[in-house]
Structure 1
Amino acid sequence: MNDRILLVSNVQLNPYVRLLADGLQAAGASVRLVSGLSLPSLLVNRRRGLDVIHLHWLELLYASPRPIVSAWRLGMILLTLAAARVWGIKVVYTVHNLAQHERRTPRLNDWGNRALFRLATALHVHDAVTARALAPWASKVYIVPHGTYIGAYPNTTDRAAARARLGLSDAGVVYLFLGGVRPYKGLELLLDAFRTVDDPQARLLVAGHAHRPDYAAAIAALADRDVRVRLLLRHAPDDELQFFFQASDACLLPYRAVTTSGAALLALSFGCPIVAPRLGPFPELAADGRGLLFEPDSVDDLARALRVVCQVNHAAAQAACLAYAQTLAWPTLAQAHLAAYQARR
């Protein structure tokens, strides 16, 4: 069967959906990518032929600064999906997040999730932990891991060149926090833990856009307490990611809550081991030499993990990370998605 699939996502910076589309097309499907969904657009796509609507990040599709507008947008999306089901079009939803990161409209988010979970033909999750969290909808759930980012970004540098580019010494451990600077990611916890690392040559790179100016100011004030912290509160362009990851001994993910971590897969795809809490997907991702774990919300245990990083064989850890990321090729994962689409009615 030559599936005709509509992938719906308005996320621009993360290439996840584009990589999935490429994998599906390589597997023989016909794929269109759109940034939103409405009844008129559904009618157009239905006339072209449509078998599956696969949505991503519902909370971003309806988000607005005004809650009443968010509620209206969500209602229209759900109405459109209900019409799709009546017309025999399958609806698949990838559960990237169970809750909004900033919990701006938690009741609306929870209601929207429940409504979509009922409407959906299938619910895609990346790991067994999330599947267990969706136990009431177990008959709809299927697991396909998050795919690799190998090849999705430039990666032509090495450790020495990357450190030189960033003005870092060849000596000393370099820790990296990279991505959107947001409260749920636990950066305050990390800065507290890093201050306890007794190594004057150690460096902590914090690179990413801060979504809220007040939070950026609070993080800057904490970072100013330690001259070993380099704070770059801006978006890191695609061609710069390689320098941050190749220069670093570990990517730090001190999240307070997590469902899926594309950031972890990104680090592993650059051969950079992770340090993360024992939450959600992290124990599996950090296994077999790919990273270190710490107890959630524990400054002391995170500090312990940071000290252990300097004892890790970096070359062996890098090889383990890359070997794992290579098992997550998108064409292979796309075949599993297609099988899941076709198994649902």
Structure 2
Amino acid sequence: MSADREYDVVMALSYYAPYVSGLTEAARVVAEGLASRGQRVLVVTTRHDASLPAEEVLNGVAVRRTRVVARLGKGVISPSFPFVVAREARRAAVLNLHLPLLEAGPITLLARRTPVVLTYQCDVAMGAGLVDRLQQAVMDRSVALAMRRSAVVCPSSDDYAEHSRLAVEMAGKARAIAPPCLDRSGGRPTFRDGPGLHVGFVGRIVEEKGLEYLVEGFRRLDDPDARLLVAGDYAKVAGGSVVERVRRAAGEDSRVRLLGFLPDASLPDLYASLDVFALPSVNSFEAFGIVQVEAMLTGVPSLASDLPGVRMPVRHTGFGTIVAPRDPEAVHRGLVELQRAQPDRAAGAARTRAIYGPGLSIDQYAELFATVGK
């Protein structure tokens, strides 16, 4: 990277640690991985929680948060955010924007000559209301402008890029890099409760995850010893949680257990307790599913929805099964199939590691940033 720049990489995204989502975790792991290799990394984000400091250093990464003045659905409004990002980008070798990001287009204009790499996490999936449709249209136009001005666009997979609403804008610039996945192996099965099939989910309890379909499909199992362990935040979720919908689907079935938010330190034990990991996503706001790959890396097969990007880890490894989204009966059949097949866990983990192993994504981003930032 250029020695005459203050930063090697400036990253920008609306939410960052300690907020937890697939998007924020992907950015955090790459940022910290680059910092551990001696890169000078600054993350510019919003101060979505007023109790957070405006500036701090997290695991070697400088973090700067801009003031939030209002909230709009899942998003926040921070008038100073694009200007701070652009100002810092002009002092960096590379600007890395994590999309979807409402301000992406204007930021690329303000950043001037600094080369831009876009990490395209997913399309925005809004509701059917007029305001939602307007917000989605504005977002897509801003992202399309950013894509035209970027050097490279990094979707999570070629599959997702080909099916994205912005596939045309990505054409010729796309370089697929899977999000970074951590090694969660070595846990103890402390969440296990009996000999029955244990199915697990990790993630925010939000609409796009399709959890009610997972619950309904699981409840069709007639094994009283089966368990469905749902781990994820439903108290501090941008845009609101659907935990009551999940509870209604579970009814009085004591086999379904909501564990709430689990810290990273507990995830190895959860994965060690599972026979199947489920990712029952229902829309394009899910594009990969880091948690499913992390479970697969520990030897747990995945049941994944047949959606662009989401289905690729199972397709690439053969370690799991793919089911139709929004279909409880398909979920039920998939769980029965995996229970009967009993996939080779060691072989599945090895195949997953060869494609999505820890560090591979960081290696690819480091190489890309070094090339673009020359």
Q: TM-score range by the shorter chain?
A: 0.7 to 0.9
The aligned residue for residue 51 of structure 1 is: 93
Are the aligned partners of 2:296 and 2:302 in contact in 1 as well (CA < 8 Å)?
Answer: yes
SS in 2 for 1:6: strand
Deviations 1:75-109 (A, max 9, x none): xx54332121x2x2011111111124667432332
Deviations 1:128-167 (A, max 9, x none): 11222323431221112222211xx6x54333x442xxxx
**TM-score, scaled to structure 1:** 0.80
**Inter-partner Cα distance in structure 2 for 1:330 and 1:242:** 15
Structure with the larger helix share: 1
The aligned residue for residue 135 of structure 1 is: 168
For the pair 1:186 / 2:215, whether they are aligned, the reply is no
Compared with structure 1, are the counterparts of its residues 115 and 275 closer, same or farther at alpha carbon in structure 2 (3 Å cutoff)?
Answer: same
Are the aligned partners of 1:122 and 1:141 in contact in 2 as well (CA < 8 Å)?
Answer: yes
* Counterpart among 276, 300, 316 of residue 304 in structure 2: 276
Are the aligned partners of 1:23 and 1:333 in contact in 2 as well (CA < 8 Å)?
Answer: no
- Quote the offset at 1:268 in angstroms: 2.2
Are the aligned partners of 1:23 and 1:332 in contact in 2 as well (CA < 8 Å)?
Answer: no
- Quote the offset at 1:276 in angstroms: 0.9
Are the aligned partners of 1:122 and 1:344 in contact in 2 as well (CA < 8 Å)?
Answer: no
- Quote the offset at 1:239 in angstroms: 1.6
**Inter-partner Cα distance in structure 2 for 1:185 and 1:214:** 11
The aligned residue for residue 321 of structure 1 is: 349
Are the aligned partners of 2:228 and 2:255 in contact in 1 as well (CA < 8 Å)?
Answer: yes
Q: What does 1:69-88 align with in structure 2 at a 5 Å threshold? A: 74=103, 78-84=105-111, 86=112, 88=113
Are the aligned partners of 1:268 and 1:322 in contact in 2 as well (CA < 8 Å)?
Answer: no
The aligned residue for residue 254 of structure 2 is: 227
Deviations 1:234-253 (A, max 9, x none): 22122222222111111111
**Inter-partner Cα distance in structure 2 for 1:11 and 1:102:** 24
For the pair 1:245 / 2:271, whether they are aligned, the reply is yes
User: How many aligned positions are there?
Assistant: 315
- Quote the offset at 1:113 in angstroms: 2.1
**Inter-partner Cα distance in structure 2 for 1:206 and 1:213:** 17
The aligned residue for residue 32 of structure 1 is: 42
Query: Please, what is the CA RMSD of the aligned residues?
Result: 2.9
Are the aligned partners of 1:2 and 1:28 in contact in 2 as well (CA < 8 Å)?
Answer: no
**TM-score, scaled to structure 2:** 0.74
The aligned residue for residue 107 of structure 1 is: 137
Are the aligned partners of 1:19 and 1:330 in contact in 2 as well (CA < 8 Å)?
Answer: no
* Counterpart among 300, 306, 321 of residue 335 in structure 2: 306
- Quote the offset at 1:324 in angstroms: 1.5
Are the aligned partners of 2:182 and 2:358 in contact in 1 as well (CA < 8 Å)?
Answer: no
The aligned residue for residue 91 of structure 1 is: 116
Structure with the larger strand share: 2
SS in 2 for 1:279: coil
Compared with structure 1, are the counterparts of its residues 320 and 177 closer, same or farther at alpha carbon in structure 2 (3 Å cutoff)?
Answer: same
Unmatched segments (≥5 aa) in structure 1: 63-73
Are the aligned partners of 1:148 and 1:325 in contact in 2 as well (CA < 8 Å)?
Answer: no
**Inter-partner Cα distance in structure 2 for 1:137 and 1:283:** 21
The aligned residue for residue 65 of structure 1 is: none
For the pair 1:286 / 2:314, whether they are aligned, the reply is yes
Which stretch shifts more, 25-34 or 184-193? 25-34
Compared with structure 1, are the counterparts of its residues 31 and 114 closer, same or farther at alpha carbon in structure 2 (3 Å cutoff)?
Answer: same
What residue identity is the alignment partner of 2:244? A
What residue identity is the alignment partner of 1:180? R
Are the aligned partners of 1:203 and 1:230 in contact in 2 as well (CA < 8 Å)?
Answer: yes
**Inter-partner Cα distance in structure 2 for 1:124 and 1:224:** 42
* Counterpart among 242, 245, 256 of residue 218 in structure 1: 245
Which stretch shifts more, 111-120 or 190-199? 111-120
Are the aligned partners of 2:151 and 2:372 in contact in 1 as well (CA < 8 Å)?
Answer: no
Are the aligned partners of 1:175 and 1:252 in contact in 2 as well (CA < 8 Å)?
Answer: yes
**Inter-partner Cα distance in structure 1 for 2:178 and 2:154:** 9
**Inter-partner Cα distance in structure 1 for 2:256 and 2:358:** 36
Compared with structure 1, are the counterparts of its residues 11 and 82 closer, same or farther at alpha carbon in structure 2 (3 Å cutoff)?
Answer: same
Compared with structure 1, are the counterparts of its residues 17 and 213 closer, same or farther at alpha carbon in structure 2 (3 Å cutoff)?
Answer: closer
For the pair 1:333 / 2:357, whether they are aligned, the reply is no
